[in-house]
Structure 1
Amino acid sequence: MLLNVIERGPDVSSEATPLPPVVLLHGLFGRARNLGFVQRRLAATRRTLALDLRNHGDSPHGPMSFRIMADDVRETLEHHNALPAMLLGHSMGGKTAMMLALRHPECVHSLLVVDIAPGEGGFTRMDVPAELETLDFPPHLDRAGADALLRPLIPSEAIRQMMVQNMRLGDNPGWSIGLADIMTALPTIMSWPELPPGTQYDGPTLFIRGEISPYIQPKNYPAMRRLFPHYTLETISGAGHWVHVDAPKRFAELVEKFAER
């Protein structure tokens, strides 16, 4: 599946010092533009491609698994002549990036995973209640009305606003994303598949975790070391799961430092 891409790059390309492109992969219920601020910074010197993963943003819809999503990313980057690439993925996008690196290491120059480990973790159905699939939309909906419509189902302000961005507003309101496919795949997205013995990615790997997020814990370190033997880990103080939102300056500094390597 070819995914929707937002591409940015420097005004003047330098053929003398070609650098691998940077590919940005968002988390569950996100979209390519969620990492726009760091994409703009990197695009001053690098070719960058931010992707809408399947069922998200403006990409096509269909069944989901990390193998399927990794294949989507590979197919899309091949189509855009953007391999090998540095992959930066947050949450679900981080698991997708890890899967691509583990299954097709020749496609991945380096890997940066944001606040997710190769294991259980991510959203739950409590975060995104099943009632969303049968939500009764009014004839017309604006942003304020969308927030009010979701408030009884999603108490969390951050999650509610993220879901509002996935709504089609105006005179024909509804979900713009493949919500049914996403909800069916939630158990898969929450988990991590079994991989053949000896599977690993030997390239440079950086994990960035939020200090107050639960998704990278010491119990995850053995799997991280087994699969990514050259990984390093950075913790951003005071940040939660949305590290790039909670601490954008420090997050961008770590990303840029890793990219410069």
Structure 2
Amino acid sequence: MDLNCKTFGQGPALIILHGLFGSLDNWVTHARKLAESYSVYLVDQRNHGKSPHAEEWDYDVMAEDLYEFMDQRGIVQAHLLGHSMGGKTVMRFAGEYPERVDKLLVIDMAPKHYKPHHTAILKALTALDLKQIGSRQEADAILAKDIPQASVRQFLLKGLGRDEQGGYRWKFNLEVINRKYEEVLKNVAIDFPFEKPSLFLYGEASPYMDPADFGLIRELFPQAEFVGLPGVGHWIHAEAPEDFLREVHRFLAG
């Protein structure tokens, strides 16, 4: 699959993968700053952003997409950074192709199975009739009935684009995500431990990571380092951008 990508800077390769409902556009600001030291590749995962839509959607195929992406661009080895769903993709890739990974950075995600927590969002997005929407403001007002958090709606509406007729469409493949949502919740299958340096950076106020997960993570990633940011939630890079960049630079330079 030919994944959509934007590149920044020169230096050792650093590939960044976004989370569910996101796209590479969520990471442009950070990429420009990291580009002072690295060749940064921002990638839209399948069924997201401007990358192709496909019926197959699980961590096995997303890891294979990443492998193909690196081969297409002649990237022999790279630092991998993944947030949320992207974190599970890079963990799966590191377990399958450790020789292609230099250092691994997982942002606010564990390799465990998660309980459904996007049900209300999926229901609201599915119920929104885009053919009847005249503006983003109108879409926001309708979504607000089921999604009260303005920051969540703002993030989701970044995925709202225009179709060829000038109407609205979701950039992410809502139909497949809705149907195969369980796939993104599953634990990451790793047959052999990944023995290279790995940073698990998480928000201490986030429900996605818990110190109780550290034992499982160390079994699969023996060199795992854990860094929690106090008072920060799941969107670490947005909520605490300076702390996020400081920890990324520290880990990669070490």
After TM superposition, the score normalised by the length of structure 1 is 0.90
Aligned to 2:7: 7
C-alpha deviation, 1:101, in angstroms: 0.2
Aligned to 2:63: 70
C-alpha deviation, 1:259, in angstroms: 1.7
Structure 2 Cα separation of the partners of residues 51 and 193 of structure 1: 20
Is it true that 1:190 corresponds to 2:190 in the alignment?
A: no
Structure 2 Cα separation of the partners of residues 103 and 194 of structure 1: 9
Structure 1 Cα separation of the partners of residues 115 and 234 of structure 2: 9
Aligned to 2:26: 34
C-alpha deviation, 1:108, in angstroms: 0.7
C-alpha deviation, 1:227, in angstroms: 0.5
Task: Using the aligned pairs only, state the percent identity.
Answer: 35
The CA deviation string for residues 215-257 of structure 1, in whole angstroms up to 9 with x for no partner, is 1112211210111000100011110000111111000100111
SS at match of 2:81: strand
Aligned to 1:47: 39
Change beyond 3 A, Cα 1:71–1:151:
same
C-alpha deviation, 1:139, in angstroms: 5.1
Change beyond 3 A, Cα 1:148–1:205:
same
Give the count of matched residue pairs. Answer: 251
Aligned to 2:208: 215
C-alpha deviation, 1:75, in angstroms: 0.6
Residue number among 180, 183, 195 corresponding to 2:175 in the alignment: 180
SS at match of 1:83: coil
| Structure 1: tracts of 5 or more residues without a match | 11-18
Structure 2 Cα separation of the partners of residues 239 and 123 of structure 1: 21
Contact persistence 2:200–2:227 (CA under 8 A): yes
Moved over 4 A (4+): none
> RMSD of aligned C-alpha atoms?
1.8
Residues 114-153 of structure 1: matches in 2 within 5 Å? Answer: 114-121=107-114, 124-138=117-131, 141-153=134-146
Structure 1 Cα separation of the partners of residues 113 and 120 of structure 2: 16
Residue number among 102, 117, 124 corresponding to 1:109 in the alignment: 102
Change beyond 3 A, Cα 1:128–1:139:
closer
C-alpha deviation, 1:189, in angstroms: 0.7
Change beyond 3 A, Cα 1:194–1:258:
closer
Residues 62-101 of structure 1: matches in 2 within 5 Å? Answer: 62=54, 63-101=56-94
C-alpha deviation, 1:203, in angstroms: 0.8
C-alpha deviation, 1:155, in angstroms: 2.0
Aligned residue identity for 2:152: I
**Of 169-178 and 83-92, the range deviating more from structure 2:** 169-178
Aligned residue identity for 1:28: L
Contact persistence 1:139–1:172 (CA under 8 A): no
Aligned residue identity for 1:65: D
After TM superposition, the score normalised by the length of structure 2 is 0.92
